[in-house]
């Protein structure tokens, strides 16, 4: 990703701002894409572990690996995981998502929540995700959606942390590159994924892209 120092500085704040109901429900939505026999999940760009913990709670039979480039993010993730009583089911790995330290076909599911838009080489990350998935495994990641209107926040004005998180997320994601449905489909298709779908999420600010490895 090239900027781990930035996420080191913001690890605690990011954890506080995203540990709120609307953001959590957006993470939980990724569990809908799990194959029925999901046993092993890789959560890319896990940050302070919010998405990894939520996904573990949504699928109590799975074990998960959260991966991030920022050591302080992983320290926060381990802290929150211990508080949730999920340490036996979740491991955390410090690594680059474009060079995953896992064997071919090691996972049933690869997830990411507001992560892929940040990386410098998106095709490399998606290709690595494809490599570590078994046949029939799936990828699902929620990314900032291009073209969303900030007025969609108005009905949620009482949810202060959520509103602030979106107001920070929108310009930052615009700088790094929001995704349209067509762009998401091209990205996943180029790596070899099939049965690709996109779904609008998080009040229209997010877009979930998913695909299956043949």
Q: What is the pLDDT of residue 105?
A: 98
Tell me the CA distances in angstroms from 152 to 24, 79, 174, 180, 181, one per residue in order.
18, 33, 17, 18, 19
Query: Per-residue pLDDT tens for 64-115?
Result: 999 999 888 899 899 999 999 999 999 999 999 999 999 999 999 999 999 9
Query: Per-residue pLDDT tens for 153-206?
Result: 888 878 888 888 788 778 878 888 899 999 999 999 999 999 999 999 988 999
* Domains of the chain and any CATH numbers: 4-209 (3.40.50.150)
163 CB contacts (<8 Å, ≥6 apart)?
A: 153, 156, 157
Tell me the CA distances in angstroms from 121 to 37, 113, 126, 141, 186, one per residue in order.
30, 17, 9, 16, 14
- Give the pair of three-digit tokens for residue 96: 């680059």
CA–CA distance, 169 with 90 (Å, rounded to integer): 27
pTM: 0.88
Question: How would you classify residue 203: left for phi > 0, otherwise alpha for psi between -120 and 50, otherwise beta?
Answer: left
1 CB contacts (<8 Å, ≥6 apart)?
A: 7, 45, 69, 96, 97, 118, 119, 120
């Amino acid at each position: 990703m090239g900027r781990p120092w930035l996420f080191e500085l913001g690890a605690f704040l990011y954890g506080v701002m995203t540990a709120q109901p609307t953001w959590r429900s957006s993470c939980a939505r990724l569990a809908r894409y799990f194959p029925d026999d999901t046993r092993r999940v890789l959560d890319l760009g896990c940050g302070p572990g919010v998405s990894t913990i939520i996904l573990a709670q949504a699928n109590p039979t799975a074990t998960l690996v959260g991966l991030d480039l920022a050591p302080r993010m992983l320290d926060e993730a381990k802290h929150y995981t211990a508080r949730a009583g999920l340490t036996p089911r979740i491991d955390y790995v410090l690594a680059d998502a474009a060079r995953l330290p896992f064997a071919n076909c090691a996972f049933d599911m690869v997830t990411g929540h507001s992560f892929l838009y940040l990386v410098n080489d998106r095709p490399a990350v998606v290709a690595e995700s494809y490599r570590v998935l078994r046949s029939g495994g799936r990828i699902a990641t929620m990314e900032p959606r291009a073209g969303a209107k900030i007025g969609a926040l108005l009905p949620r004005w009482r949810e202060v942390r959520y509103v602030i998180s979106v107001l920070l997320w929108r310009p930052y994601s615009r700088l790094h590159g929001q995704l349209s449905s067509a762009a998401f489909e091209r990205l996943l298709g180029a790596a070899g994924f099939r049965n690709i779908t996109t779904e609008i999420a998080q009040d229209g600010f997010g877009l979930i892209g998913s695909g299956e490895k043949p």
